[in-house]
Structure 1
Amino acid sequence: MKTKTETHIAAAQEKPIRLQEYGVGIFPTLSTKSALKKAIKKEYILVNGKLGTTSTFIHGNEIIAFIHPENDPCKKQLILKLEVVYEDDYLAIMNKPPGILVSGNSFKTIANALEQNLKKSDQADAVKPQPTHRLDYATTGLLLIGKTSASILALNRLFEQKKVLKTYFAVTIGKMKKEGTIDIPIDDKKAFSKFEIVNTVVSERFQYLNLVKLTPKTGRRHQLRKHLAFLGNPILGDSTYGKEGLILKGKGLYLHAFSLGFVHPFTKENLRFEKELPAKYRKLFS
C-alpha cells in the first residue's frame, strides 16, 4: 500500500510541551487529541526521524512527520457555508448554526467545514483551524476557533483559567425569580451559573416564557440546560431535560451563545463580540 508523508516544523516554545498536546491540529486529519493519540500509538508520528511517543517533548524546530496510508484521509469534502464574525492570522469567531455538531466522528461538523470558510494563516505554525470549546448540537451562536498551534494552546489556557467571558440567552418555561445564582454540582463537579430575566410573556401553553441572560462560571457538559431544569424552568425546546408534555417540537432548542470577551493572546487587544438573537426569539419577545 502506498504511503503519504506530511511534515511540520515545530514552532519555538517558551517551555517544552508534550507532543500529544502540541501536535493537535498540525495535520489536517489529526485535529483532535484522540486522533493524535491513535496516530502516535499506531507509530505514524516521527520526531526528528524517531518514533514519537506520549512522553516526547517538543522544544521548537523539531521536524514532525506524519506517515499514513494514502487512502487514510477522508478525501470527500464537506460543503457548508458558515458566517465568519471575526478573523485574523491567529484565530476566528464563527456563528454556529443549529443542528450541527462542533466536532466528532461525524462527517458533517463545524470542524470539517472550517478550512473552506477561513483564510489560511501566514504564521509558521499554521494548522487546520480547530474549535477551542464546545457548543451543543442544537445551540446557536459564537464559537472561538484557533488557526495556529500556539493559538489553540493559548485559547485552551484562557478557557482553563476562566479568562473567556461568555454570555448566553435562553428562553425558559414557567415562573422564575428575577435573578440568581445556581451552584448545583454536575457529575460530582462544582458548577456555577448566574441568570437574569430580561423579559417575560404570558403563555397559554407554558404559563410563562422568559428571556433569560445566562453567565456560566464553569464549563460542565450541558451545564446551563441542566441548571435551568434543576430550577424547574427548563429551556424551551429541550427534549432531553424538558418537562413531559411541555416540550416544544420542531423549533429547536432556544439557547444562544450571545457574546465572547477575552484578551487576544498575541495582540493583547481586549476583544468582545456579540451575535444578535435569531429571529425565532424576537418573534416571542417583540
Structure 2
Amino acid sequence: MKLKEQHKVKNSIEPIRLQEYAIGIFSTVPTKSGIKKAIKKGLVFVNGNVATTALVITGNELIELFQNETTDPKKQFIFPLQVVFEDDFMAVIYKPSGIVVSGNSFATINNALEQNLKASTQQDAVIPRAVHRLDYPTSGLLLISKTNATTYHLTKFFEEKKIQKTYHAVTIGKMKNEGGIEMLIDEKESYSAYNVLKSIPSEKYGFLNLVELNPKTGRRHQLRKHLHGIGNPILGDKDYFIEDLISYGNGLYLHATSLEFTHPITTKKMFISSELPKKFKRLFPDVSL
C-alpha cells in the first residue's frame, strides 16, 4: 500500500466517531460512504494502527489514508462557479439551475468546489462541501464549509433555525398579498411565510406573481409543495403543477436570494444576497430587491 493523504486532528475536540469526523478531510475520499468503505478495506490508519468504524476521535490523532497500488487517480469535474463570499473557514457560491449539489453523479457542485475555492490553512481543514442543498432546478446561494469546526457549527445552526434563508419565486394564479403556509410534508410539520411583491396579468396563467418566501422549516421540496398546495404553483415546476399550465421554456422560477446568519468562527453578522436571475427580470423589469 502507498500513503495517499494524511490529516492531523486538533489538540482538543469533542469526541466523535472516525467515520463522522473524516467526512471531507481527504480530497480523494470526500463522502461518508467512501470513508466507511476505506475503513472497512483497511486503508485508514490512526496513529499508525488500522482503524475501525467504531473508533472515536478525541484530539491530536494522525489520520492516514492509504491506497492500493492499482487504485485509479481521482478525476476532476471542471465547472467554473461564481464565488460570492470566501474566507479561510467557509464560502458562499452561486449555484446555477440544472446541476445537483451532491450525490452519486460525477457532475455535482461538491465535485467542482475544490477547483473554485482556496484551500483552507486551518488545522482542521477539509475538502470544501455544501452544508445544505438546493434542488436541481433551483438557482441561488449555497453555503460551503472548509473546516470541520465550521461544518459542525453550521449544521447545528440549520438544526436550530439560526440561518435565515430568503427565496424568490414566480407563481401562477391570483394570490393573497401575504400569508403563511402550514402543512405536513413526509409526516413532519412545515411552515413557510410569503409576501407578494408584484402581480401582473397573464393571458395563459391569469396572473403571474413575484413572491418573496421565507421557509421556517427545511423539508424536501418544501416551497414547491407549499405553493402548489395553495393552488399557486411555481412557474416552470414540472413536478408540482396544475394540468395544462406547465411552462417548458425557461426552467423553474425559484431562486435562493439571501442568507443571514452569524459567522460560526468570527461571530460576525453575515448578510449575503444575490440579484434575481435575468428570466425573473424579463417578467418583472421594474422590481428591484
Give the structure 2 partner of residue 124 of structure 1: 123
Shift of 1:192: 1.1
User: Structure 2 matches for 1:237-248, cutoff 5 A?
Assistant: 237-248=236-247
Superimposed CA distance per residue, residues 223-260 of structure 1 (whole angstroms, 9 cap, x where no aligned partner): 11111111111111000111221110020100000000
What is the distance in 2 between the residues matched to 1:29 and 1:75?
A: 6
User: Partners in 2 of 1:201 and 1:71 — Cα distance?
Assistant: 62
Structure 2 alignment gaps of length 5 or more: none
Q: CA deviation at 1:3?
A: 4.3
- 2:159 equivalent to 1:164: no
Alpha carbons of structure 1 residues 150 and 72: separation in structure 2 relative to 1, 3 Å: farther
For 2:4, the equivalent position in structure 1 comes to 5
- 2:58 aligns to what? 59
Conserved 8 A contact 2:235-2:253? yes
CA RMSD of aligned residues (A): 1.5
Contact 2:12 2:60 in 1 (8 A): no
Shift of 1:97: 0.7
Quick one: distance in 2 between partners of 1:29 and 1:185? 39
Per the normalisation by structure 2, the TM-score is: 0.94
Whether contact under 8 Å (2:3, 2:64) holds in the other structure is: no
Contact persistence 2:167–2:213 (CA under 8 A): yes
> Does residue 261 of the first structure (1) align with residue 264 of the second (2)?
no
Provide, for residues 50-97 of structure 1, a one-character-per-residue CA deviation record: whole Å limited to 9, x for no partner: 333332211111011222335545532221111000000000000011
How has the CA–CA distance of structure 1 residues 223 and 71 changed in structure 2, closer, same or farther, with 3 Å as cutoff?
farther
Residue identity in the other structure for 2:275: E
Mapped to 2, the partners of 1:63 and 1:45 lie a distance apart of 10
Query: In structure 2, what is the Cα distance between the partners aligned to 1:258 and 1:182?
Result: 20
Q: Which amino acid aligns with 1:21?
A: E
Q: Which runs of 5+ in 1 are unaligned?
A: none
Q: 1:71 to 1:146 in 2, by over 3 A?
A: farther
8 Å Cα contact 1:183/1:191 also seen in 2: yes
Aligned-pair identity in percent equals 55
Give the secondary-structure state (helix, strand or coil) at the position aligned to 1:76.
coil
Matched, 1:190 2:189: yes
Range 122-131 or range 50-59, more displaced = 50-59
- What count of residue pairs does the alignment treat as equivalent? 285
Corresponding residue for 1:174?
Answer: 173
SS at match of 2:88: coil
CA distance 1:104–1:118, shift in 2 (3 Å): same
- 1:1-286 to 2 correspondence within 5 Å? 3-70=2-69, 72=71, 75-286=74-285
Structure 2 counterpart SS, 1:192:
strand
- Partners in 2 of 1:162 and 1:35 — Cα distance? 29
